[in-house]
Amino acid sequence: MKRELDPNLQYLTPPDSNSMTATAKAKTCWEDEAQPDCGVDELLAVLGYQVRSSDMAEVAQKLEMLDDLMGNAQGDGLSQLAYETVHYNPSDLSTWLQSMLSEFNPLPVNGFDPMVPHATGAVAPPAPLDDSLLARAESSTITSIDFDQQNSINHSRVFEDSSSSDYDLKAIPGKAMYSQPQSRTAQIESPSSRDAKRLKPSSASSSNPDVLFPRSSSMGGGFTVPTESTRPVVLGDSQENGIRLVHALVACAEAVQQNNLSLAEALIKQIGFLAVSQAGAMRKVATYFAEALARRIYRVYPQNALDHSLSDILLMHFYESCPYLKFAHFTANQAILEAFEGKKRVHVIDFSMNQGMQWPALMQALALRPGGPPVFRLTGIGPPSPDNSDHLQEVGLKLAQLAEKFHVEFEYRGFVANSLADLDASMLDIRPNEVESVAVNSVFELHKLLARPAAIEKVLSVVKQMKPEIVTVVELEANHNGPVFMDRFTESLHYYSTMFDSLEGSVSNQDKAMSEVYLGKQILNVVACEGAERLERHETSAQWRTRLCSAGFEPVYLGSNAFKQASMLLDLFAGREGYRVEENSGCLMLGWHTRPLIATSAWQLAGKATIAH
């Protein structure tokens, strides 16, 4: 990446021979970053700033001088410090400090400052604007990051945009005024017809435009001549900071992939500072991804084994805060209910029992079936409890009480297994099809089998031996199982940014916070872990289709009735705006705006596939 110094860029103070020499040396240095003595701060350069280390020392010196002067200031002599000016570039901060020092030590009335009005009160003829204070025009219109396109280019150019912008925020001379104050952004054109640069007002300007942008007389070329003393103002753009944050995250991940741990460690620190400037979902997502990268750098891997009670609590809050689990349970139950139509005895084998939240609704639907409910047998499979308590049996007792209330004949068995791959069909008391119809249900479980070689093939083989009427599968619509770390990172960053954004409309702050912890643990596993420890190996519905078809299953196309029912379910959910249900190749998907996030599919043994009503 090569950047050249703007030939018009000079110092704020009138240049002398020494400063001109320094400028020439700086230009030579910036044109070739490969020179070891150029003095450019490498850490800031990787984030898009071209700042010399000497600038940092100059800032420190000016801060000390300003501190001494402030100690002698009286009353409103410090009023200018109240403005909400934000400085992102050390060079801009140096300029602002110089102007502050000049105000505490003003020039004589007959000095050479062309921006100070004459003592007589007459307005001086408009002086030509000092072009040295304005950088060449940059584009600041970027609003999103296309991760697919990002991956198709060389990652070494991750900090360059289409206009070769370096994103630096420059000082604005004087108390500039927008030509259209009602707009959030404005374009200021220079007399030399440079491209416009978008400027964004600070919060102080939005509440009182005259604070930073006082009334002044007009001047040709889109500028105004202030009638008061001036000082440089630097305006921050949170959108550009968001882009810097994404770039820093991707650059850190690339450094990790290349095993450049020293650069990755430095970028992690910068990500922390950049994340603070963001609000809402972006800040939270960046924090979790930064933690995951840090764990990978320092080899402090997260523990996968959670107390089942904590895991269940997080899952229940996720269930309440957003419609994803409700959608998963509802669409799977709809497919199971239709497959059990007319059956007298039914058996559901649940690979993801947890707290059994899915089954009260199915019980109620079976109880309302014309001709009376069937005999309902449920086998719930779950991991062992660290305290050796029989939590699956406790769930079964609660469901038995509910079944009695619905007048449904109910049988239950809890089955503890460290992994679904440890199951065998003979353990589950499968009865002949003439006696009992079987359904197998899996919600967010099958992807974990991909961490063990041949585990998914074994489980699907066992499912075939059960001869089920239907198999329902719910998984995240994401690809977090690729062999290349950078591909997984960018895909997961895009995916979880959308997921966190959808949680922002949650009614309960507690549910939202716990749901973010639930998703944050997935992020840590996807990014920080490898090998058998990386359990969150999500794949897309197209990839699952390939796996299941090769294992001897065919899709059951979820029909229009399931689609309508799922859409009605969303209508009952508070804050439903933004959620979308769509049908894709027989699967039902729930997403946020245009991005599908989870997918429900139904399967039968090959040769029995049907279309659901």
pLDDT > 60? residue 16: no
Instruction: Give SS3 for 408.
Output: coil
DSSP label of 195: P
DSSP string for residues in 167-182: -PPPPBPSS---SSTT
Q: Do strands 470-476 and 595-605 pair parallel, antiparallel, or not at all (unpaired)?
A: antiparallel
Least confident interval from 312-316, 460-464, 606-610: 606-610
Q: Classify residue 570 as exposed, middle or buried by CB count within 10 Å of its CB (0-12, 13-18, 19+).
A: middle
Cα–Cα dist 157/28, whole Å: 22
What CA–CA distances, in Å, run from 99 to 96, 217, 230, 350, 610?
Answer: 5, 23, 9, 70, 77
Please name the residue ranges forming H helices in 167-307.
203-207, 209-212, 238-257, 261-276, 281-298
Confidence of residue 93 (pLDDT cuts 50, 70, 90): low
335 near 602, Cβ under 8 Å?
A: yes
User: Can you tell me which residue has the tokens 């047998």?
Assistant: 377
The maximal CA–CA distance of the chain, rounded, in angstroms, is 107
301 near 526, Cβ under 8 Å?
A: no
340 near 373, Cβ under 8 Å?
A: no
What pLDDT digit, counting tens, does each position of 452-478 carry? 999 999 999 999 999 999 999 999 999
28-32, 87-91, 97-101, 274-278 — most confident range: 274-278
pLDDT > 90? residue 360: yes
586: left (phi over 0), alpha (psi -120 to 50) or beta: left
Here the tokens at position 455 are 């585990």
The count of other CB atoms within 10 Å of the CB of residue 14 is: 8
What is the predicted pLDDT for the residue at 559?
Answer: 82
Cα–Cα dist 513/530, whole Å: 27
438 near 345, Cβ under 8 Å?
A: no
The secondary element (H helix, E strand) that includes residue 472 is strand 470-476
Whole-number mean pLDDT of the chain?
Answer: 74
pLDDT > 90? residue 88: no
What CA–CA distances, in Å, run from 228 to 114, 117, 140, 211, 231?
Answer: 12, 7, 30, 12, 10
Q: Which long-range contacts (CB under 8 A, 24 or more apart) does 153-159 make?
A: 155/250, 155/251, 155/254, 155/486, 156/1, 157/1, 158/247, 158/250, 158/251, 158/254, 159/1, 159/46, 159/47, 159/48, 159/247, 159/251
DSSP string for residues in 336-348: HHHHTTT-SEEEE
Terminal C-alpha separation, the chain = 58
What pLDDT digit, counting tens, does each position of 362-419 carry? 999 999 999 999 999 999 999 888 777 788 999 999 999 999 999 999 999 999 999 9
> Which one, of 428, 343, 353, lies nearest residue 383 by Cα?
353
pLDDT > 80? residue 574: no
pLDDT > 60? residue 204: no
Percent of residues, the chain, with pLDDT higher than 90: 49
